[in-house]
Amino acid sequence: MEKIKITPFQFFTLIVLLQLGSAIVISPGVAAKQDAWLAILLGLSGGVVLFLIYSYLYHQFPELSLTEYLPKILGKHLGWFIGFLYSLYFLYIGTRVLRDFGDLLVTAIFPETPLFIISLLMVLTIVYVISLGFEVLSRTGEFYLLLLMFIGFVVNFLFLMSGEVELENFLPILGEGWMPVVSAAFPRVLTFPFGEMIVFTMILPYLNNRKAVLKVGLIGLVFSGALIIFATMMNIAVLGIDIVDRATFPLLSAISKIRIGEFLERLDALAVISLIVGMFFKIAIFIYAGVLGTSILFKVDKYQKLLMPICIIVLISSVSIAENISEHLREGLEIVPKYIHMPFQVYIPLLLLVITVIKNKVSGNQKDKSKN
């Protein structure tokens, strides 16, 4: 791994940027209709539990990334194979988010521009930043988080000033009971975006304060979850759940309704800036984790050697992963959570937790016997 250190605040920044990423673009939990905010809250609770597991595993191997401690838990060959699958998983998620980014810009701003060209520009930017080192990406995130917070404040203030907010859109609360909320939360909202914290298992060894991992991680997770809940509620309050459910990008539709007087309207650019920033960091973090994991497993001395070839594969895959945006969204919301996210975010970490706890207990018993 790189010989770098990131501060707790930089870690917090990266968590928030990754969580907001594409979650603000595609409002999670809308399957629960006007109770989407409850589904997100439930998903966040599950995400907190998952991060407790990730944090526990990290503290057992504080100097190692996920792909490095997997062989120590599962054995050399099986651990290497699972680590390779995780590297592919991280790159796959980066590919899907890159497609989200391309579809967003093609739909909202550049309808005549080829998807490949837009994705290529993003990939080239990511290659440049990541090649400079992860520390550069972390420091850059500090500025852009402040920018996003400022834009978010301005947009929500304008929502309130425009008079478009209708609180009646949240009624009736739990009109169809808890089942739609629970089914929307698990596995969809749990795995997207909160379970995606699994990517930080590749980055936690970089922190310069090990004791701050759990505290900062939970604060970042809860803070970003609160922002996603607020953004989703604002979309529903402005548009109504029927439009939110049908809209490809609800946030853009909501912001387009802001009109104050005859001079302040068409503020879509603010939303697009926010979404580009969030998606950039999310794609960059996942690609970095995938490239780093691959370089560790194949014993490549510098991950930069693999960066460009892997990014070319990611770029081509993002364009060919689905024929159109509808197919892409359907796969991402219906197939990926159950069959890809759940194994990598939940099932395998739970297995690692059980094996590690058993090993520690057996080791502790053997030490006690040797003392006696």
Is pLDDT at 301 greater than 80 in this prediction?
A: yes
**187: pLDDT confidence band, cut at 50, 70 and 90?**
very high
Is pLDDT at 264 greater than 70 in this prediction?
A: no
> Looking at residue 223, what is its pLDDT?
97
**192: pLDDT confidence band, cut at 50, 70 and 90?**
very high
Q: What is the pLDDT of residues 108-134, one digit of tens each?
A: 788 899 999 999 999 999 999 999 999
Q: What is the pLDDT of residues 137-159, one digit of tens each?
A: 999 999 999 999 998 898 888 88
Nearest Cα residue to 5 out of 199, 213, 207: 207
Q: What is the pLDDT of residues 342-372, one digit of tens each?
A: 999 999 999 999 999 999 998 877 766 666 5
> Looking at residue 20, what is its pLDDT?
93
> Looking at residue 284, what is its pLDDT?
97
Amino acid, res. 44: L
**325: pLDDT confidence band, cut at 50, 70 and 90?**
confident
Is pLDDT at 175 greater than 90 in this prediction?
A: no
> Looking at residue 333, what is its pLDDT?
84
Nearest Cα residue to 108 out of 270, 282, 315: 270
Q: What does residue 68 show for φ and ψ, rounded to 5 degrees? A: -90, -35
Amino acid, res. 3: K
What is the mean pLDDT of the segment spanning 236-252? 88
What percent of the chain stands above pLDDT 90?
73
> Looking at residue 262, what is its pLDDT?
66
Q: What is the pLDDT of residues 23-36, one digit of tens each?
A: 887 788 899 999 99
Query: What does the domain layout of the chain look like in residue ranges?
Result: 15-349
> Looking at residue 157, what is its pLDDT?
87
> Looking at residue 261, what is its pLDDT?
67
Entry pTM: 0.95
Burial of 63 (0-12, 13-18, 19+ CB in 10 A): exposed
Name the CATH superfamily for 15-349. Answer: Amino acid/polyamine transporter I (1.20.1740.10)
> Looking at residue 108, what is its pLDDT?
79
Q: What does residue 6 show for φ and ψ, rounded to 5 degrees? A: -120, 150
Instruction: For residues 358 and 361, give the distance between their C-alpha atoms in angstroms, rounded to a whole number.
Output: 5
> Looking at residue 369, what is its pLDDT?
67
**Within a 10 A sphere around the Cβ of 73, how many other Cβ atoms?**
18
> Looking at residue 2, what is its pLDDT?
67
Q: What is the pLDDT of residues 3-17, one digit of tens each?
A: 788 999 999 999 999
Instruction: For residues 60 and 187, give the distance between their C-alpha atoms in angstroms, rounded to a whole number.
Output: 28
- Most confident residue range from 39-48, 103-112, 246-255, 270-279: 39-48
Residues 56 and 213 sit within 8 Å (Cβ to Cβ): no
Q: What is the pLDDT of residues 47-99, one digit of tens each?
A: 999 999 999 999 999 999 999 999 999 999 999 999 999 999 999 999 999 99
**Residue the block writes with tokens 């607020």:** 230
What is the mean pLDDT of the segment spanning 169-177? 90
The encoded tokens of residue 2 equal: 């790189």
> Looking at residue 247, what is its pLDDT?
85
> Looking at residue 248, what is its pLDDT?
80
> Looking at residue 270, what is its pLDDT?
81
